[in-house]
Amino acid sequence: MCDVDPFANLEDLTAQSTQDFAVAADGETRARFEDAVFVAMRDDIAAQLQDEQQIAFCQEHRARMYHFYQSAEWPKGVYRVCSAASYRAGLPEWTILFSVADFDAILDDDVYLQGVAHYVDAPEHVLISLSAGGGDAAYTVEFDLVQKKIVPDGFHFPLSKSNISWRDADSVWVCPAWDERQCTASGYSRQVWLLHRGQSFADAVPVFEMPVDGMMVNAWRYLDGQGGVIDLIEAASGFYTKTYYQIMADETVHRLTLPDDCELMGYLSGQLLVQLRSDWLRANQAYIAGSLVAVKLHKGVLGEAQALFVPSATQAIDTVETTRRFVVVGILDQVHSRLCAWRFHDGCWQTVVLPKLPEGVLEITDQPWGGDILYLAISHFTQPLTLYTLDLQLMELCVMRRQKNQFDTTGMQIQQFQATSADGTAIPYFHVGRTATPQTPTVVYVYGGFGMPQLPYYLGMVGRHWLAQGGAFVLANVRGGGEFGPAWHRAAQGVNKHRSVDDLLAVLHDLYRHQRASAAHTAIQGGSNGGLVVASAFCREPLSMGALVCEVPLTDMLHYDQWSAGSSWQDEYGRLAEVAEAAALKALSPYHQLRSGRVYPPALVTTNWRDDRVHPAHALKFYARLRSLGQSAWLSAPMAGGHGGGTTQNETAAELALIVRFLQHSIGEEQHNDTVENGLWAKNRLC
């Protein structure tokens, strides 16, 4: 292990000394990579992001299209509206409703738009969430879009990780988190209150409270498009362990006898839509894990159930949406998308035949409340987004917008392969590029956590500045993700989290075995949980890759549950209080697996100073340890931005340009010039 650990006692460092360290390291990285090529690339990416020809993805409410727009003139963005008719005609006549930058002075903070929640029965009333510096914590402000002003004495809440949602036009469900007495150990709310218009919070009605050792609560109202209304509470004791309650008319709560690891996905025709993570035996009927089940609900009591979708071994549910009359489900099959639908008729759910849809990743971008229209975005690695409307009443599919190509796809191939992991499991991965040779600079991207699938979305700027320049891109669908349902996720959960790393390394070895790439010209990249996976692979087999891009990562797994939202992830990673789980976490933990006397490839580690989800200490400690070992490591740690990265398009453009320049230096066209600088690793790797 390293003898010098600059952050061994992080709590003993002052905030200022830590920030000074990060600023100095970030400045060194900028000085190294922000050259004329970087500037041209950054500016080109920003121009593409701000191009008015990009599809404006909107929320439709009562024939009006609402859109958040950023540009060079409006770097923080504006919220604007046009008529649905002008939007469909391709000539939207936009009216600006508010500018995000105007809230800086009002709130005396550097704020960015986190979300706009319309009350669908009166959509001119909105709750605006404004994050501080791009973090997860946000202010909530009620705004009148007709008057274009903040509602006097409206629903306004201080900076926190609270959950606020509409109950009706004159009341909201409040799950507060601005006082530590309201919070769980994870920093999220553990209380539910009902607040009516005109009340102070002191006059609000307390509805529910969970123990402080829980994870979080949330409350919301489902508006059935056919007129039904129910209010629900989700009380999560862990990331995947939840209890659901119905809030009755007298504000009492009634526990619903659902599996403790299911997810409520919608409400239609008086029935809850329940997605199962494990098998459910009920009334002598078995429903298998991964299924979508419709269950009748009446005054807190569950009735008859019917399975709508039952997956095969290669399938998983990606998304669930309800319209006025239909349930629509996006299905993954061998990591390819398709759409299914059902309608409740004659006392049961019946399958509906949909129009043939184009190949590609399907995303439901909007569903105007009260109707049977869906907005669908469809794309693929080299196929730009196309926005469609799908009318489920007429079963008619229409093209609304086509995104222009952002890079030249001539000669590019998309191939899906399988690697064999250490335990014999087949791991699928996509390879995209014009060439697949040992000399091709190749980026392998991975996530592999929390049951989240990684899909073949359009590569856009990656295609423009990496693929079109001769590079290749690989998407590894490792265990821990959701590509094949709950079992695929559970296979790399807790003490088995190492399997995500096993799978990534198997993909690398398969690439090299078949001469599709070589270690010297291959980089691994991942963010957040993916940052943990790539950093752990980097520590385990440093000579199996040519570079590491490790974004907003977890790296210190012996302290992860003590920082920011870390304690909420114990269901995913394990509990340090358990001996076997602590041992597995230590073996996985990148920070603790770095060794003196070993050589590591160049590494770019990123964080954002306002990240209040994954603490910046993870990135800072990992970077500092690498530098103390004499390795080639670089840190990007801008003061603005949260876990999702930059808050403006210019910041997003700079982040991507920095990564591409690092890759060009470490595995790309400028690699040879850097071999002396990379020192011992280059000598070992290139011999």
pLDDT tens-digit series, residues 449-497:
999 999 999 999 999 999 999 999 999 999 999 999 999 999 999 999 9
Which of the four pLDDT bands, split at 50, 70 and 90, describes residue 637?
A: very high
The residue ranking higher by pLDDT, 283 or 306, is 306
Provide the phi-psi class of 17: left if phi over 0, else alpha when psi is between -120 and 50, else beta. Answer: alpha
pLDDT (average), residues 89-114: 97
Percent of the chain clearing pLDDT 70 (strictly above): 95
Spatial CB neighbours of 11, under 8 Å, sequence gap ≥ 6: none
Q: Which two tokens stand for residue 263?
A: 């997810």
Q: Average per-residue pLDDT in the chain?
A: 94
CB count within 10 Å of CB 370 equals 16
The length of the chain in residues reads: 687
Spatial CB neighbours of 276, under 8 Å, sequence gap ≥ 6: 259, 262, 287, 288, 289, 290, 291, 292, 293, 486
Percent of the chain clearing pLDDT 90 (strictly above): 91
pLDDT value of residue 670:
76
The secondary element (H helix, E strand) that includes residue 122 is strand 122-132
Which of the four pLDDT bands, split at 50, 70 and 90, describes residue 683?
A: very low
pLDDT of 198 strictly over 80: yes
Which of the four pLDDT bands, split at 50, 70 and 90, describes residue 11?
A: very low
Which of the four pLDDT bands, split at 50, 70 and 90, describes residue 2?
A: very low
pLDDT of 126 strictly over 70: yes
Q: Which two tokens stand for residue 655?
A: 């982040």
pLDDT tens-digit series, residues 376-423:
999 999 999 999 999 999 999 999 999 999 999 999 999 999 999 999
pLDDT (average), residues 313-326: 97
pLDDT value of residue 535:
98
Among candidates 341, 336, 438, which has minimal Cα distance to 393?
Answer: 341
Strand order in the sheet with 263-268: 263-268, 271-275, 292-298, 301-309
Which of the four pLDDT bands, split at 50, 70 and 90, describes residue 647?
A: confident
pLDDT of 6 strictly over 60: no
CA distances from 21 to 135, 188, 496, 554 (A): 21, 30, 35, 19
pLDDT tens-digit series, residues 578-622:
999 999 999 999 999 999 999 999 999 999 988 999 999 999 999
3-state SS class at 350: strand
pLDDT value of residue 224:
86
Q: Which two tokens stand for residue 230?
A: 């129910």
pLDDT tens-digit series, residues 519-566:
999 999 999 999 999 999 999 999 999 999 999 999 999 999 999 999
pLDDT of 344 strictly over 60: yes
Q: Topology of domain 10-33+407-686, per CATH?
A: Rossmann fold (3.40.50)
3-state SS class at 407: coil
Q: Which two tokens stand for residue 544?
A: 């199996």
| Prediction pTM value | 0.94
Which of the four pLDDT bands, split at 50, 70 and 90, describes residue 284?
A: confident
pLDDT tens-digit series, residues 247-273:
999 999 999 999 999 999 999 999 999
Which of the four pLDDT bands, split at 50, 70 and 90, describes residue 225?
A: confident
CB count within 10 Å of CB 425 equals 18
CA–CA gap between residue 447 and residue 426 (Å, rounded)? 17
CA 538-543-544 angle, to 5 degrees, is 70
Among candidates 130, 129, 126, 77, which has minimal Cα distance to 108?
Answer: 130
pLDDT value of residue 7:
53
Give the helix ranges, DSSP H, for 89-162.
102-107
